[in-house]
């Protein structure tokens, strides 16, 4: 290459070279580089935060997913991917819940979500499933989430959490059984007293029969002559009838208590709530605390109150409610047990209220009475388990147990169960708020 050609090339190169950067440009470039560094650090930080939250959600031992207002799945945790009913996150995200959980009735599922979107309140359900082979119990919680800062009250998403509570349920059943046995122990004195009376009558009748029999063998004397000689009078057939009646009474008492004590699996039968009230009051008659108050019943007279469930468990619930009412009342006070039919929008329900005029429950404690081990009773007088067990049992029946009270004026505990053929209710959802009406004001 000639020297002139080389210098031409050099001129051409120098003509495309950028002019040297000014100080301001250099500062700007340095700032941009700095911002790029900050941005990538922020992106990294956000990715880490996202990963952290995903890990938290994935580490939970419960199934969790989130749907938006179009019912599209926006989050689906690892637990929902595992097990026989697991569905991969890839298949779930972005689809509607109806497409993904296509085996569940879409209308019911939609109604459950709509209730949370509309009410803004958490809903809880229990369900039994045999999908994994053995019978398992799940608790489903649908929790409202609000993401829109402009409309802070709007529920933008619903978080669904599914917990396998089979073991917890079994433990609760065992505790319920021991509570029942403890109650039975307390009843023992009352029962002895109760059985003693008919036994004394039986003993007196059989002694009279024995004396009459011996006398009859000795002589052919008349009833009047026997009376004159100190042998008790009485028609033997009548005495035998009294013995039989009293034996039946003892049998009834013992049978009632055995039925109450025996552990049994939860049954699903059509039962009449009025019969539940009657059976509870029967058992209560033999309880020492049952004699301290007067329990008045006001039963639905329009007909039976049919629900699906287990009569023994419901007797246990009502018994616990009435015993609590007795504990809160002074001797001789009145307790009203009322049963009635309720209409819940399109579905029907049946309710039992236990109303007392006892010391009541302070407002700030009312939410806590259903907590396990919450008790205001002296040590040895209460375990604090009664109401938590009742709450679980009523929920298992698809119903709701609630309480309201006025300090110094008494309390109302209300158990509402879906009528036979109606769908289960949800906590906080289907039941209007309960207000205690003092008995004195109501009558």
Ligand X SMILES: Nc1ncnc2c1ncn2[C@@H]1O[C@H](COP(=O)(O)OP(=O)(O)OP(=O)(O)O)[C@@H](O)[C@H]1O
User: Using CB under 6 A, which of 190, 386, 392, 429 touches ligand X?
Assistant: 386
User: Using CB under 6 A, which of 369, 417, 425, 427 touches ligand X?
Assistant: 369
Q: Find the shortest distance in angstroms from Cβ 412 to ligand X.
A: 8
Distance CA 431, CA 425 (A): 8
Q: Which residue lies nearer to ligand X by CB, 72 or 334?
A: 334
Q: Which residue lies nearer to ligand X by CB, 304 or 382?
A: 382
Q: Does 363 bind ligand X (CB under 6 A)?
A: no
Helices 311-328 and 236-261 cross at an angle (nearest 10°) of: 90
Classify strands 63-68 and 73-76 as parallel, antiparallel or unpaired.
Answer: antiparallel
Residue 98 has which token pair? 């109806």
From the list Mg ion, ligand X, none, pick the one residue 400 interacts with, judged by a Cβ distance below 5 to 8 Å according to partner type.
none
Q: Does 187 bind ligand X (CB under 6 A)?
A: no
Q: Does 353 bind ligand X (CB under 6 A)?
A: no
Residue 275 has which token pair? 């019969």
From the list ligand X, Mg ion, none, pick the one residue 325 interacts with, judged by a Cβ distance below 5 to 8 Å according to partner type.
ligand X
- The piece of 88-96, 138-146, 268-276, 378-386 that touches ligand X (CB under 6 A) is 378-386
> How many other CB atoms sit within 10 Å of the CB of residue 275?
15
Q: Does 387 bind ligand X (CB under 6 A)?
A: yes
> How many other CB atoms sit within 10 Å of the CB of residue 137?
17
What is the Rg, in whole angstroms, of the alpha carbon atoms belonging to the chain?
37
From the list ligand X, Mg ion, none, pick the one residue 358 interacts with, judged by a Cβ distance below 5 to 8 Å according to partner type.
ligand X
Residue 402: in which H helix or E strand, if any?
Answer: strand 400-406
Q: Does 437 bind ligand X (CB under 6 A)?
A: no
Q: Which residue lies nearer to ligand X by CB, 258 or 367?
A: 367
Q: Per-residue contact track with Mg ion, 382 to 401, x per CB under 5 A?
A: ----x---------------
Distance CA 374, CA 384 (A): 5
Q: Does 358 bind ligand X (CB under 6 A)?
A: yes
Distance CA 208, CA 215 (A): 10
Query: What residues from 259 to 278 belong to the interface with ligand X (CB under 6 A)?
Result: none
DSSP conformation class of 208: H
Nearest-5° Cα angle at 177, 176 to 179: 65
Query: What residues from 293 to 332 belong to the interface with Mg ion (CB under 5 A)?
Result: 324
CB-based contact 370:401 (threshold 8 Å) = yes
Q: Does 146 bind ligand X (CB under 6 A)?
A: no
Distance CA 429, CA 141 (A): 12
Three-class secondary structure of residue 412 per DSSP: strand
Q: Which residue lies nearer to ligand X by CB, 98 or 374?
A: 374
User: Using CB under 6 A, which of 316, 324, 339, 426 touches ligand X?
Assistant: 324
Site residues (vs ligand X, CB under 6 A): 320, 324-325, 328, 356, 358-361, 369, 374-377, 382-388, 411
């Amino acid at each position: 290459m000639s020297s002139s050609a080389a210098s031409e090339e050099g001129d051409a190169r120098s003509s495309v070279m950028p002019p040297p950067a000014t100080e301001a440009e250099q500062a700007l470039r340095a700032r941009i580089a700095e911002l790029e560094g900050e941005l990538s650090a922020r992106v990294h930080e956000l990715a880490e935060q996202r990963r952290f939250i995903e890990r938290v959600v994935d580490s939970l031992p419960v199934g969790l997913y989130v749907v938006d207002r179009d019912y599209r799945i926006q989050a689906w945790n690892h637990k929902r991917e595992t097990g026989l009913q697991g569905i991969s996150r890839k298949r779930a995200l972005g689809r509607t819940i109806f497409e993904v959980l296509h085996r569940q009735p879409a209308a019911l599922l939609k109604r459950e979500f709509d209730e949370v979107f509309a009410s803004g309140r958490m809903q809880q359900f229990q369900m039994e499933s045999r999908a994994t082979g053995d019978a398992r119990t799940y608790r489903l919680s649908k929790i409202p989430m609000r993401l829109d800062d402009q409309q802070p009250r709007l529920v933008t998403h619903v978080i669904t959490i599914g917990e396998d509570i089979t073991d917890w349920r079994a433990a609760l059943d065992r505790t319920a059984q021991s509570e029942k046995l403890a109650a039975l122990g307390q009843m023992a004195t009352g029962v002895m007293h109760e059985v003693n009376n008919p036994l004394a009558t039986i003993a007196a009748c059989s002694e009279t029969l024995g004396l009459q029999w011996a006398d009859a063998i000795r002589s052919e004397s008349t009833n009047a002559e026997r009376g004159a000689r100190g042998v008790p009078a009485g028609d033997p057939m009548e005495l035998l009838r009294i013995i039989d009646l009293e034996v039946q009474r003892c049998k009834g008492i013992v049978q009632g208590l055995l039925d109450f004590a025996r552990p049994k699996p939860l049954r699903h039968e059509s039962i009449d709530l009025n019969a539940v009230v009657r059976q509870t009051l029967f058992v209560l008659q033999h309880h020492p605390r049952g004699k301290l108050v007067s329990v008045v019943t006001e039963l639905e007279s329009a007909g039976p109150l049919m629900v699906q469930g287990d009569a023994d468990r419901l007797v246990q619930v009502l018994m616990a409610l009435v015993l609590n009412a007795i504990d809160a009342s002074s001797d001789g006070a009145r307790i009203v047990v009322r049963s009635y039919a309720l209409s819940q929008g399109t579905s029907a329900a049946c309710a039992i209220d236990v109303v007392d005029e006892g010391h009541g429950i302070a407002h700030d404690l009312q939410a806590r009475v259903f907590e396990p081990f919450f008790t205001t009773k002296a040590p040895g007088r209460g375990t604090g388990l009664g109401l938590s067990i009742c709450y679980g049992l009523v929920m298992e029946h698809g119903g709701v147990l609630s309480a309201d009270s006025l300090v110094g004026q008494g309390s109302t505990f209300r158990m509402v169960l879906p009528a036979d053929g109606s769908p289960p209710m949800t906590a906080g959802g289907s039941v209007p708020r309960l207000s205690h009406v003092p008995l004195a004001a109501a009558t």
